[in-house]
């Protein structure tokens, strides 16, 4: 269905619009299925906690996507144009066929499968009806999820505020550079992306710890797939940013990509470059 709509509209951000909604939708559908099969609804506090975290994540991402114009008619993520250009260079006269295959396999099928995968631990928790005491590991993982969500929301807020300053014509050094590099972005180039990865990894680990289920690709595959997709997305985003903003390469040398840490000094950057030569 997604593939058909994208082909008709020639707009390839349909899944982007559904991205934040699908995990919560899956959770609701699994809860309804659980109710129909048993005739009553009984879920553990752990399942309620995780579903609440996912719901807050959905609300935040949907709002963030909306305020960036993601639900406006004709909106398409700027990275798809770059992907099409790269694919055209690679395939040449076979581009039309190659793009349709890419659209069907990756954009439509693989991304929906990934969304299903990251949400699947919710089903594991909902199927476990026995209420057990929370362990220290579960409290710790719950804290990691909440912290990751709070920091992700803060980082997205800083990114949005910076974009608004650019649109308003503000004349600060950061706006002239073209990209945000203060606040949380002083310690990592993509703190929001890092926190999203941590959130879903912690969620999968929490579900396994709470239910005692063995570690398997079924329940860990979604989080692992998200990490792989994120690394590809970050690489593409940074290539675009580096081509647009001359100072971005200096920012890359001084600041960690994903894992937050103190920025490197100019002396450290120079010494590192000298060693590579």
pLDDT, one tens digit per residue, over 37-46 is 665 566 778 8
pTM above 0.75, yes or no: yes
Closest CA to 111 of 261, 214, 9, 222: 222
pLDDT, one tens digit per residue, over 208-258 is 999 888 888 888 999 999 999 999 999 999 999 999 999 999 899 999 999
Residue 274: band (very low, low, confident or very high) from pLDDT cuts 50, 70, 90 = low
Quote the CA–CA distance of 157 and 149 in Å, as a whole number: 12
Average pLDDT over residues 117-142: 87
């Amino acid at each position: 269905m997604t593939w058909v709509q994208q082909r008709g509209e020639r707009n390839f951000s349909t899944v982007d619009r559904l991205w934040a909604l699908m995990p919560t939708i899956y959770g609701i559908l699994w809860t309804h299925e659980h109710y129909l099969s048993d005739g009553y609804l009984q879920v553990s506090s752990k399942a309620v906690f995780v579903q609440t975290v996912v719901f807050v994540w959905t609300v935040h991402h949907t709002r963030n996507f909306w305020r960036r114009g993601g639900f406006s008619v004709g909106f398409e993520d700027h990275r798809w144009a770059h992907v099409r250009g790269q694919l055209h260079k690679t395939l040449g006269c076979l581009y039309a066929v190659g793009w349709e295959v890419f659209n069907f396999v990756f954009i439509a099928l693989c991304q929906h499968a990934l969304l299903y995968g990251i949400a699947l631990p919710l089903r594991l928790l909902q199927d476990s009806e026995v209420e057990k005491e929370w362990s220290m590991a579960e409290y710790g993982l719950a804290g990691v999820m909440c912290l990751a969500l709070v920091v992700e929301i803060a980082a997205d807020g800083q990114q949005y505020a910076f974009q608004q300053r650019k649109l308003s014509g503000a004349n600060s050094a950061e706006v002239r550079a073209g990209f945000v590099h203060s606040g949380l972005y002083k310690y990592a180039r993509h703190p929001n992306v890092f926190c999203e990865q941590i959130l879903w990894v912690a969620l999968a680990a929490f579900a396994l710890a709470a239910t005692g289920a063995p570690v398997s690709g079924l329940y860990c595959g979604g989080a692992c797939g998200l990490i792989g997709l994120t690394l590809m997305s970050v690489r593409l985003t940074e290539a675009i940013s580096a081509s647009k903003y001359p100072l971005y390469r200096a920012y890359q040398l001084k600041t960690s990509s994903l894992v937050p840490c103190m920025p490197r000094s100019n002396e450290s950057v120079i010494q590192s470059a000298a060693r590579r030569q």
